[in-house]
Chain A
Amino acid sequence: MTHEMTSYEETISSFILKHINQSELDYDLRIFEEGLVNSLFAIELMTFLEKSFKIKIRIVDLDMEHFQSVHSIAAFVNNKQAEVHHA
């Protein structure tokens, strides 16, 4: 795993933990399915990702599979960052 991915995961995890008032989070846990967060949080998460990682989330990106867990969200951010760098 790259240093960037680890750092993305930490940032994302800390944002989610703040929201759910817990101190630990399994990076593979499916946060929506497990009821840790709800649909309102999804909109906040998108805003947070755009601001924190300077990415632009497009309509085609709006697939819940990308945002199920800390791992999958970090992978999504990583791909978006790669798009930016290759553009």
Chain B
Amino acid sequence: MNITSVGVIGGGVMGRSIAVDLLFHGFQVVLVDLSGEILDAAFQEIMRNIRFSALVKKSLPLINPEEAAQNIQLTTVLSEVGQCDFIIENVTEDWAVKEGIYRKLDEICRPEVCFGVNTSCISITKVGSVTGRSGQVIGMHFMNPAVLKPSIEVIKGYYTSEATIQLVNQFLALMEKEAIIVEDLPGFVSNRVSHLFMNEAAFVVMDQVASPEAVDRIFKQCYGHKMGPLETADLIGIDTVVKSLDVLYESYQDSKFRCCPMLRKMVDAGRLGKKSGQGFYVYG
């Protein structure tokens, strides 16, 4: 099957980032979210990234923002992805929300269409089980900014077929990416490990062992990481980190995933990280 149009469900941080990547690589995009306000903000950010991403990745094709704008449709109506050749879903890490979306997508989309689940922790097998096409459901864990990442973590659900894996490999090749294929257990590889770092870093700050700056500097300047764990948590969104930790804790029943109380307090206070202007750091 030829993929020319992609339905992106969810216009948050990752949905926007993936839409930019798809537009740079010549795909038609239908971006769905709940409100016109979110979609307007998403469109502005997508266009900014289309204009300026060449600064940070020289090999990107030079595309005219006005032409790119013609290749993206923004809508609050989920059924408008009905004609898309592939779906990438990025809604909130909440099973009740995801379940509802997948049941609807299964009715809306053509039978041959595959669903890429962009999730931090939710089981791909479980997502597949609420559709009539579990062989065509596959985890696609993109990282932000998608356009700069050469690889993504791809997760095989219990029933994900070889044909689906092949299709995703071909699709990713068109996006100049490679799949790193892993099995389906909660958190996969990336989040099962990275959330331990972020959570423990939050405990370190709560216990007044070090400031957020000091924690992040140790990771950057001593370990050579590009970002520290608390900057990363701010970028992902503290609320998303908390939700992922809760899923990991519930899945493994292992106390190592118990969420740092300070992270919950930050969520209650609206300090969600970069997207709210304040998390561990304050943003302009």
Contact = CB atoms under 8 A, between A and B. Distances in A.
Contact of A62 (B52, B148, B226, B284): B52
Interface stretch (B53-61, B101-109, B115-123): B53-61
A73 B283 CA distance: 20
A21 B48 contact: no
B48 A35 contact: no
Nearest to B55: A62
Contacts of B284: 15, 18-19, 44, 48
Contacts of A35: 220-221, 226
A43 B49 contact: yes
Interface in A52-67: 57, 59, 62-64, 67
Contact of B48 (A15, A47, A62): A47
A2 interface: no
Report which residue of A42, A59, A64 has the largest number of chain B beta carbons within 10 angstroms of its beta carbon.
Answer: A59
Q: Interface SS of chain A: helix, strand, loop or mixed?
A: helix
Instruction: State which size class the interface on A falls in.
Output: 20 to 34
Contacts of B53: 43
Interface of B: 48-49, 51-57, 62, 144-145, 148, 213, 220-221, 226-227, 235, 281-284
Interface of A: 15, 18-19, 21, 35, 38-40, 42-44, 46-48, 57, 59, 62-64, 67
**Top 6 A-B pairs, shortest CB-CB distance:** A39-B56, A62-B55, A46-B52, A18-B284, A62-B54, A43-B52
